[in-house]
Amino acid sequence: MKKIIRIGTRESQLAVWQATQVKELLAQHGYQSEPVYIKSEGDIDLKTPLYEMGVQGVFTRSLDIALLNDKIDIVVHSMKDVPTQLAKGIVQSAILKRASYKDLFVYKNDISFLGDFSSTGLIATSSIRRKAQWLNRYPNHTVENLRGNVNTRLRKVEESNWNGAIFAAAGLERINLRPENSIELDWMLPAPAQGAIMVVCKEEDEHSLTACSHFNDADTALCTKIERDFLRTLLGGCSTPISALAEINNDIVHFKGNILSLDGKDKVEVELTCSSLQAGELGIKAASELLNNGGREIADSIRNAAK
């Protein structure tokens, strides 16, 4: 009898969609699987801003514990939620081909105010990265906290007095919830690994490692590694205003990254290019360059604010 692979997932519509994708990919390669639903701390506490919850691992910790306790065999994560240092005994088993990495602005009435950088506005996001980039571009705006799953957050936008709120394009598009009243924020750099899905398993689980290796996307794996190396070298946590994007075109990797102060007033950017064959340390190199060009002061101020 073939072993049934137990897929650990959160219960949100988006998390279930992601787990279903992995279930279908496993089936294509002859593996049987079933979902196992587990609540995360990030799903239970929907009021505290993520950056006050010590957000690193807040959506992954419960699932990792279930994995290490043999209640499940693999876990499917939104990769941007995964700490850059995986828990001891857990390894990356596959990265799926990346969807859109972009952020979206879902607006209420009109977006004419976005053309005026001196305008006032009231927008919402739970992301400290999005908040810092938004305030850097629109210093007179006010940013409020927005928590909950995708459906809840969309409803809150409709019921609020906000001008709009920021969402990840991939999250809305995967479950066909992207509203017509939304625009891509081409100027906003994404979170490291945004739009990518990561599958993890236990280090010694050869069966799951082999099963997942069939659908690992090498280009996405390289790009997200570069972005997460950049994040880890700078500060490590995803509750920081750090953005990164690596893209491969004709075997050339183009990398952009930045770090902002919490209030968005200060920003340091870096941009590097190299061949994909030489890109293994690109994220670390980019982070070092950024730190030496003014980023260290911003990184230190963020660390001090967290103490």
What is the pLDDT confidence band of residue 99, given thresholds at 50, 70 and 90? Answer: very high
Can you say how many angstroms the Cα of residue 163 is from the centroid of all Cα atoms in its chain? 24
Q: Are 27 and 39 in contact (CB under 8 A)?
A: no
What is the pLDDT confidence band of residue 53, given thresholds at 50, 70 and 90? Answer: very low
Within this chain, do residues 111 and 260 fall inside the same structural domain, yes or no? no
pLDDT digits (tens, 9 = 90+) for 129-140: 999 999 999 999
Within this chain, do residues 211 and 73 fall inside the same structural domain, yes or no? yes
What is the mean predicted confidence (pLDDT) over 224-237?
A: 89
What is the pLDDT confidence band of residue 165, given thresholds at 50, 70 and 90? Answer: very high
- How many domains, the chain? 3
Q: For the ranges 43-47, 113-117, 203-207, 213-217, which has the lowest average pLDDT?
A: 43-47
Q: Are 245 and 60 in contact (CB under 8 A)?
A: no
What is the mean predicted confidence (pLDDT) over 145-157?
A: 90
Confidence (pLDDT) at 303: 83
Confidence (pLDDT) at 45: 41
State the CATH number of the domain containing residue 300: 3.30.160.40
Q: Domain limits at 295?
A: 227-306
Catalytic residues: 81
- pTM: predicted TM-score of the whole model, two decimal places: 0.90
Q: Using CA atoms, how far apart are residues 171 and 149, in angstroms rounded to an integer?
A: 10
Within this chain, do residues 203 and 80 fall inside the same structural domain, yes or no? yes
Most confident of 52-66, 72-86, 185-199: 185-199
Q: Using CA atoms, how far apart are residues 134 and 128, in angstroms rounded to an integer?
A: 10
State the CATH number of the domain containing residue 57: 3.40.190.10
For residue 190, tell me if it sits in a domain: no
For residue 189, tell me if it sits in a domain: no
